[in-house]
Structure 1
Amino acid sequence: MYKEAALITFYAETPVHMGAGQSVSYVDLPIQRERHTAFPIFWSSGIKGVIRDTCYRIWKDKDKVNLIFGPEEDSDFASCISITDAKILLYPVRSVRGVCAWITCPFVLKRFKEELESAGINEVNKNFEVIDNLHLKDGEAVIPKESISVLGINDKQVAFEEFVFSMKNTSENISEVVKFIKNLLPDTSLTTDIEKHFAIVSDDTFRDFVNYAVEVRTRVRIDQKTGTVKEGALFTEELIPSESVFYSLLFISDPYFGIDDEFYSCLLEVKEKTQGKLNWEEAKNKIEKKEWLEKVKNKEFYLKKAWEGNYFNSAEVLNNLHEILNGTILQLGGDETTGKGFMRVKISL
């Protein structure tokens, strides 16, 4: 059972390619997409692998990484964390005025609200009430009042990519939605002004933009012997544009040591009452049933490391991950040598 939950947001510092493999379309290497919406998505397995590798390089402790993320080989315990697929929240498009705009749609915002509620972030309710009754037609856009002077080509219209949209309204409640989202995003010089570059379009319009307003690059492979293009080595690659914003949920349970639940609960009680100030030997002396200690001798190495390393329960594991990941940049999707896939991360507790 998961005891802690947090929101992770990803801000693309560079174009990102999380590949879905081969394709039968004109794009040889497409990005990952949801089957039912065709929206871009980052599969959780790739995200978790990158986070695991990042933690290992910083902690330099294989046992700690295995206990939190699960062992790479077969074992009698699994990971104590679960990361959901990262879904699109805001998508950057060209704007006739203001250079670019971050767009979203009612479908995305409603789903975002539901997932935040499942993570226990209940303050979303008062901010997102306006979205429940928001009905947009194609060709309509809702923008906050702060965006009118920046994005508007006049006081009634905005233009994204090659299309002109009429402004439906500039409700104060929309501004509150933008402020709420802004507080969840990684801090960059661009996200500080997000309320000036924000728009909500219809679900169908959003689907079309995330399908067709993507980067497609043509690449070649070079023959290392001749220094020229290899024959038949021309290929195209689809990329999520920089400044895109995705989100994922992180759920954490207590680490599983394979010990008696009652004994583990007793240890947690000792840790809570003493505010974690006791070392492992002192904690063991607080246990009344000494026969328990005989049963966990083969686990004591891991118990001691987790106890004294402050990753003994779900709250401590979350704090460890928050310390490592919050504000850092992860490299998702390979392509390290071409400078793509850099995502700035924020964890909201």
Structure 2
Amino acid sequence: MYKKAVPFFMITRTPLHAGSGQDLGFVDLPIQREKHTDFPKIEASGIKGSLKEAFENSNKTIKIAGKNIDAKEHKEVVKFIFGPEDGDLHAGLLGFTNARVLLFPVKSIKGVFAWITCPMVLERFKEELEMRIIDDLNKQRELFKIPTERSIVKGSNLIIEDKNGKEKIVLEEYTFSDVVETEECSKFAEWIAERIFPNNDYWKEKMKKDIVVLSNDDFRDFVKFSTEIVTRIKIDNEKGTVEGNALFTEEYLPSETILYSFALISSLSPGTDIDKKYFSSDKNKKEDIIMQYFKDGIPEIMQIGGNTTIGKGIVKIQIWEDKYERER
């Protein structure tokens, strides 16, 4: 049973391909998607594998409950936390949820690009946060109000005016002339920007002005048809031409996509030497020790998905820093 959950965001800095295998559609190698919504996702197994590798290769000096980790035992500690290769020994003490898209970047005629979302995405995000980080005493305090569809931030950078002075926004080749500037959208944009970009003023200010809440259907269409499609070939080194039928297309989540996931922390006691040495404490609960180890050790920049050697899948990790939680 998981005792604690740590929310974290992933901001794609380069296009990311978390593949689902070959497909019969027009894209040979599509990205992973939820079956019932067609929204992009990253399977939890891929996130866990990437994080485990990042922890194993990390040069960070991490203390566990005030104890320095013996250099020779570094990888054993990682295996203990994430689970050994032989799953029959014991389960890992860290689990993860699938990463879901929260904000999707779409080209805009003004402001370069907008981050779009929809009520369904925001409702799921809010429900997951309430289930995992808010205790019963604070249920009455709402995290944020979900803006209505077709709403934008007050004073948005995306607004243009037609010849009649009517405000509208243009995303890709689609015009939305019925958008409304709302207080709820402005407050949500400010709320989420503070948590995704707490230490980057440029991106924080852009997010506060450039979020658009579309209808669920419009959002689905954009995340389905506005991903990056790249055609790749394999060249015959001797002839300098395409080798055989080596022409294929790959799908990518674009740079600046915002996803979220949860690290789930268990308090199992496998009773191994590593468990007894580092994670058994009279002062601290095991789940608290593991949570702090994860927060201290998670890299700020890491790689997820395929095509590592051509620079794909570079993401920035931002652990949840909630002022509401600290101030309550």
Which one of 232, 244, 269 corresponds to residue 219 of structure 1? 232
Larger radius of gyration: 1
Letter of the 2:182 partner, please give it. S
Which residue number in structure 2 is paired with residue 272 of structure 1? none
2:26 and 2:140 map into 1 onto residues whose CA distance is: 41
- Structure 1 residues 245, 334: closer, same or farther in 2, change over 3 A? same
Matched, 1:304 2:277: yes
Secondary structure of the 2:175 match is strand
**CA drift at 1:90:** 0.3
Secondary structure of the 1:32 match is coil
Determine if contact 2:23/2:30 at 8 Å carries over to the other structure.
Answer: yes
Determine if contact 2:189/2:209 at 8 Å carries over to the other structure.
Answer: no
Unaligned residue ranges in structure 2 (runs of 5+)? 60-70, 322-328
Which one of 288, 291, 294 corresponds to residue 321 of structure 1? 294
Question: For this pair of structures, how many residues does the alignment match?
Answer: 298
Unaligned residue ranges in structure 1 (runs of 5+)? 259-298
Determine if contact 1:255/1:312 at 8 Å carries over to the other structure.
Answer: no
Which one of 174, 182, 200 corresponds to residue 193 of structure 2? 182
Report the identity percentage.
38
**CA drift at 1:130:** 4.3
Determine if contact 2:194/2:204 at 8 Å carries over to the other structure.
Answer: no
**1:15-164 maps to which residues of 2 (within 5 A)?**
15-58=15-58, 61-121=74-134, 126-131=142-147, 134=148, 136=149, 141-147=150-156, 150-154=157-161, 156-164=167-175
Determine if contact 2:102/2:121 at 8 Å carries over to the other structure.
Answer: yes
Moved more, 86-95 or 312-321: 312-321
**CA drift at 1:304:** 1.4
Determine if contact 2:19/2:30 at 8 Å carries over to the other structure.
Answer: yes
- Structure 1 residues 231, 176: closer, same or farther in 2, change over 3 A? same
**CA drift at 1:43:** 0.4
- Structure 1 residues 35, 130: closer, same or farther in 2, change over 3 A? closer
Letter of the 2:2 partner, please give it. Y
Secondary structure of the 1:102 match is strand
Determine if contact 1:64/1:306 at 8 Å carries over to the other structure.
Answer: no
Secondary structure of the 1:16 match is coil
Which residue number in structure 2 is paired with residue 199 of structure 1? 212
Determine if contact 1:325/1:346 at 8 Å carries over to the other structure.
Answer: no
Letter of the 1:128 partner, please give it. F
Which residue number in structure 2 is paired with residue 330 of structure 1? 302
1:73 and 1:144 map into 2 onto residues whose CA distance is: 51
**1:170-319 maps to which residues of 2 (within 5 A)?**
170-186=181-197, 187-188=199-200, 189-224=202-237, 226=239, 228-258=241-271, 299-300=272-273, 302-307=275-280, 313-319=286-292
2:196 and 2:140 map into 1 onto residues whose CA distance is: 15
Letter of the 1:56 partner, please give it. E
Q: Greater share of helix residues, 1 or 2?
A: 1
Determine if contact 2:15/2:253 at 8 Å carries over to the other structure.
Answer: yes
- Structure 1 residues 301, 6: closer, same or farther in 2, change over 3 A? closer
Q: TM-score, with normalisation over the residues of structure 2?
A: 0.84
**CA drift at 1:256:** 2.2
Secondary structure of the 1:238 match is strand
1:64 and 1:301 map into 2 onto residues whose CA distance is: 6
1:30 and 1:300 map into 2 onto residues whose CA distance is: 44
Aligned residues: CA RMSD: 2.3
Q: What is the CA deviation profile of residues 105-151 of structure 1, one whole-angstrom value per residue up to 9, with x for unaligned ones?
A: 001001110011111246895343344xx3x4xxxx2101131xx11
Q: What is the CA deviation profile of residues 63-104 of structure 1, one whole-angstrom value per residue up to 9, with x for unaligned ones?
A: 201211111114332011110000010000011111110000
1:33 and 1:127 map into 2 onto residues whose CA distance is: 27
